[in-house]
């Protein structure tokens, strides 16, 4: 009979691309991962992986076996989740995806609280601004700003995502005054680069949304990098509140044009509608509602 430890070592080696990476994920030595794979191949009488010093590659048989292995391990995890549900105790691995700024500056500082409350749960947090696919990429929950998109997912509404226009006092004292969105023309704007965003900033005025084309010498795909530039007085920053809150409180940055706030964007926590709400998943949904829910607005 196939041992689950051999199966797990094999699937991790395939998913992560090497025995060394699989060993780190499983807290084993690369030699032990290799031994598990060899035992599996010996039991099956099949070669599953071609491997040399530079790369590894699945055989045709290995590719088919890997697909079945994922299904088997998912069923084992589901069975464990059902057992945990019977105990009514959150446990197991929770896979979470979050946007970069929110993940670093809002979610990560609160995760210790969640882990202390749920000592049998471990978290695998992926932070990226790429729009991930929850089911295909194996996440339990994802935080998403803006359009939900996939109707097969359940959306738990969170506090709206707020952007703030701000700058260092030194920059504002050295440049012309800004009282309305049109005044941004000619100013140095620190532009966030993202495939789905254009170099236009949107504000809410008495008559509705106001779009302004902005320019600047500094463009980056990192809000943290732009924040450093703003602190140094290099331009206007238009970023999420959680990124700039500490600098606003300390006076390193000040809000600009507060009478024309940025429109809030919808923010949700998504999970599959056909997923069993295990104690692990329920515990995180409740935590997220308490930490980031609409009542925070």
Residue 46 has pLDDT above 90, yes or no: no
CB of 69 within 8 A of CB of 59?
no
Q: Which of 144-158, 176-190, 241-255 comes out lowest in average pLDDT?
A: 144-158
pLDDT in tens, 155-198: 999 999 999 999 999 999 999 999 999 999 889 999 998 755 55
Nearest to 239 by CA among 259, 260, 225, 252: 225
Nearest to 223 by CA among 164, 139, 170, 155: 164
Nearest to 284 by CA among 274, 292, 273: 292
The Cβ of residue 277 has, within 10 Å, a number of other Cβ atoms equal to 12
**Alpha carbon distance 154, 142 (integer Å):** 11
**Alpha carbon distance 36, 3 (integer Å):** 9
- In residues, how long is the chain? 297
Residue 268 has pLDDT above 60, yes or no: yes
pLDDT of residue 53: 66
pLDDT of residue 195: 59
């Amino acid at each position: 009979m196939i041992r689950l430890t051999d199966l797990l070592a094999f699937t991790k080696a395939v998913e992560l691309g090497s025995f060394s990476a699989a060993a780190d994920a499983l807290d084993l030595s690369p030699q032990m991962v290799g031994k598990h794979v060899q035992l599996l191949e010996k039991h099956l009488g099949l070669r599953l992986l071609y491997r040399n010093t530079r790369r590894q590659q699945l055989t045709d048989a290995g590719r088919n076996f890997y697909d079945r292995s994922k299904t088997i391990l998912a069923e084992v995890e589901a069975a464990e989740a059902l057992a945990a549900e019977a105990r009514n105790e959150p446990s197991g691995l929770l896979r979470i995806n979050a946007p970069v700024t929110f993940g670093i500056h809002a979610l990560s500082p609160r995760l210790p609280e969640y882990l202390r409350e749920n000592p049998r749960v471990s978290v695998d947090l992926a932070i990226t601004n790429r729009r991930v696919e929850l089911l295909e990429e194996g996440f339990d929950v994802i935080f998403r700003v803006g359009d939900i998109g996939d109707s097969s997912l359940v959306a738990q509404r969170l506090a709206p995502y707020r952007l703030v226009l701000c700058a260092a006092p030194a920059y504002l004292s050295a440049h012309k005054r800004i009282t309305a969105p049109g005044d941004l023309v000619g100013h140095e704007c620190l532009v966030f680069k993202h495939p789905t965003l254009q170099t236009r900033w949107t504000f809410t005025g008495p008559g509705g949304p106001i779009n302004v084309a902005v320019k600047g010498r500094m463009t980056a795909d990192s809000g943290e990098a732009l924040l450093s530039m703003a602190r140094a007085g290099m331009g206007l920053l238009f970023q999420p509140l959680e990124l700039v809150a500490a600098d606003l409180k300390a006076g390193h940055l000040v809000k600009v044009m507060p009478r024309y706030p940025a429109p809030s964007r919808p923010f949700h926590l998504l999970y599959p509608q056909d997923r069993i709400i295990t104690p692990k998943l329920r515990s995180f949904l409740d935590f997220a509602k308490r930490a980031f829910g609409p009542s925070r607005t």
